[in-house]
Structure 1
């Protein structure tokens, strides 16, 4: 399978390495130091379980080859970068190919579908603990990625291709799961990351503290319920068991030092996914007439930091 990974962050490097190791033809759209190192002959390296593996078959490029005909494009950028990435990748996608979004939030598939035929868009959620430790190096700090993917728009004729993509991900050692209700999966993932990340940003504390303090633990749970209410009003089918699942992840599975990327970016003055996670909940809630007082508070309190970070990034 011919695969393009757009974005050389931790997720992009991880997927590039695993899919190339499985024998697929993988191109990695990168920029800056990653491209410079690749031109100097440095391979993508993945560190897992204490072992380091160089993957020399990943083709790292600064520009997507105009003659490409990819079977699968995976966008691994930040959520706000999806429109540009989808627009650039669209001409390189084969007519029967698929474009997969794996961003946090619920709006990336629709944004991608503005540049690629909706029937070609696959929406996905991804859970993996990976850290980019160099321009072309990634460290896997836990189990292999768990991906849930599904069609953004029903397309019975594309089922065979969808099965091939799921098989390719499984072949690469990933836990890939097909869903006929990807909307619910997206909102469930958002309920987890936006709630513990948003409360973490408010409190300035890692998971080990926010779940140990009864007040902040309850705040996270109530925030999750707000997302469930909005998601179900939007067409998801989130149930009580789904709430227990994500609360179990928050209270039992995360290491004590865990912070979300949203929380870290806000703390360190970098542009974050505030608008795409917390802001998305607020925007959908307002449109649907659903009350989300916790998310309204998180968004209002963190927006000044986000605006400062984006202004600084534009000046640099």
Structure 2
């Protein structure tokens, strides 16, 4: 169970303003953790989800231990938000381009936009609107699900965000995000080559989800079926060889020796989970 830290317990210089664009499982989870750490967090939502967040707040569930935050700030549009420090983009991949169109409302140079989608396109779509220096590509590790409109359950690997500026550079706001995440109880890494990190996860997800979709198998079923696991491994290897010819980001992928164990040893991966 997590404890809510009062805003007053943090110095004014330590209090950051975050906006979660997309208040699904990922947005609600990480937004709630930052809120519990004492930061100012606003959730962007619509329809029933917006009404539920305003009326019920958010409940986090780890194992059998729920933590309820009875009141959260939730609005329908970024136009209702003042200048912020960090924008976390948690919408579906196919919604990124539309969401990025709204970022023009946030013009402060120090604002950073963090993408949290699987795949490799989202950071570049956002960078096209706000610039590469202000865009952070991000990777999420962990399994999150909404059990109702305001309750998010985490299972599996520790919640983790790996991020880095999409232009490969560094800046004070980018560096500052790392300790903020860690203080909020979120495992975090600042990648010096986020493009390679994005491709690494993309190749893993596509191999696992491709076989899972064709066979209609969960992660647990894949792990228990050697032929399916071998098929996933083969798909990953083919993806890696193809990408090695087309670009340089994954030529030295570090997963070569770990991939079979990731498939066959899923103690931290919920057996009923699917990869999409």
Q: TM-score range by the shorter chain?
A: 0.7 to 0.9
C-alpha distance after superposition, 1:272-314 (max 9, x if no partner): xxxxxxxxxxxxxxxxxxxxxxxxxxxxxxxxxxxxxxxxxxx
| Residue 213 (structure 1) shift | 3.1
Provide runs of 4+ in structure 1 moved above 4 Å.
none
Distance 1:63 1:102, change over 3 A: same
Distance 1:98 1:240, change over 3 A: closer
Q: Does 1:138 align with 2:152?
A: yes
Q: Residue 10 of structure 2 corresponds to which residue in structure 1?
A: none
| Residue 238 (structure 1) shift | 4.3
TM-score (norm 2): 0.87
Q: Residue 244 of structure 1 corresponds to which residue in structure 2?
A: 257
Q: Residue 103 of structure 1 corresponds to which residue in structure 2?
A: 117
Q: 1:234 aligns with which of 247, 252, 276?
A: 247
TM-score (norm 1): 0.76
| Residue 93 (structure 1) shift | 5.0
Matches within 5 A, 1:54-203: 54-66=68-80, 68-156=82-170, 158=171, 160-203=172-215
2: CA distance, partners of 1:231 / 1:70: 37
Distance 1:58 1:67, change over 3 A: closer
**More deviation, 143-152/209-218:** 209-218
Question: 1:101–1:109: 8 Å Cα contact kept in structure 2?
Answer: yes
| Residue 55 (structure 1) shift | 1.8
Q: Residue 307 of structure 1 corresponds to which residue in structure 2?
A: none
| Residue 143 (structure 1) shift | 4.4
Q: Residue 39 of structure 2 corresponds to which residue in structure 1?
A: 24
Question: 2:168–2:192: 8 Å Cα contact kept in structure 1?
Answer: no
Q: 5+ unaligned residues in a row in structure 1: which ranges?
A: 263-316
Distance 1:93 1:6, change over 3 A: farther
Distance 1:141 1:116, change over 3 A: same
Distance 1:143 1:227, change over 3 A: same
Q: Residue 285 of structure 1 corresponds to which residue in structure 2?
A: none
**More deviation, 215-224/182-191:** 215-224
Distance 1:149 1:247, change over 3 A: farther
Q: 5+ unaligned residues in a row in structure 2: which ranges?
A: 1-15
Higher share of residues assigned helix: 1
The CA RMSD over aligned residues, in Å, is: 1.8
1: CA distance, partners of 2:127 / 2:92: 16
